[in-house]
A = this chain, B = another copy of it.
Amino acid sequence: MTDIATIEAAAFRLAGHARRTPLLSSPVLDALAGRQVLIKAECLQHTGSFKFRGGWSAVSGIDAEARERGVIAFSSGNHAQGMAAAAKAHGCPCVILMPSDAPPVKIARTRALGAEVILYDRVKDDRQAMGDALAAERGLTLVPPFDHPLVIAGQASIGLELAEQAAHLGLLRADVLLPCSGGGLAAGVALAAESRAPGLRVRPVEPEGFDDMARSLASGAPCRNARLTGSVCDAILSPEPGKLTLPVLQRLAGPGLSVTDDQALEAMALAFRHLRIVVEPGGAVALAAALFRAEEIEGDTVIAIASGGNVDEDLFIATLQRFA
Q: Which residues of A contact B (CB under 8 A)?
A: 19-22, 24, 27-28, 41, 43-44, 48, 112-113, 272-273, 275-279, 309, 313, 316-317, 320-321, 324
Contact = CB atoms under 8 A, between A and B. Distances in A.
19 contacts: A19-B22, A21-B22, A22-B22, A22-B44, A24-B44, A27-B113, A28-B112, A44-B275, A44-B277, A48-B276, A276-B278, A276-B279, A276-B309, A277-B277, A313-B320, A313-B324, A317-B317, A317-B320, A317-B321
A112 B30 CA distance: 13
Contact of A276 (B20, B22, B44, B324): B44
A309 B27 CA distance: 16
A43 B278 CA distance: 12
A287 to B, nearest CB: 14
Nearest to A273: B313
A44 B271 CA distance: 11
A30 to B, nearest CB: 12
A273 B47 CA distance: 11
B43 A276 contact: yes
A22 B20 contact: yes
Identify the 10 closest CB pairs spanning chains A and B, nearest first: A276-B309, A276-B278, A43-B276, A317-B317, A48-B276, A313-B320, A272-B278, A22-B22, A317-B320, A44-B276
A167 to B, nearest CB: 13
A41 B43 CA distance: 13
Contact of A41 (B44, B273, B313): B44
A27 B111 CA distance: 13
A91 to B, nearest CB: 15
Contacts of A27: 112-113
Nearest to A113: B27
Contacts of A316: 320
Given A28-B112, A43-B276, A276-B279, 6 more contacts: A24-B44, A276-B277, A276-B309, A278-B278, A313-B320, A316-B320
A126 B316 CA distance: 41
Contacts of A112: 27-28
A163 to B, nearest CB: 18
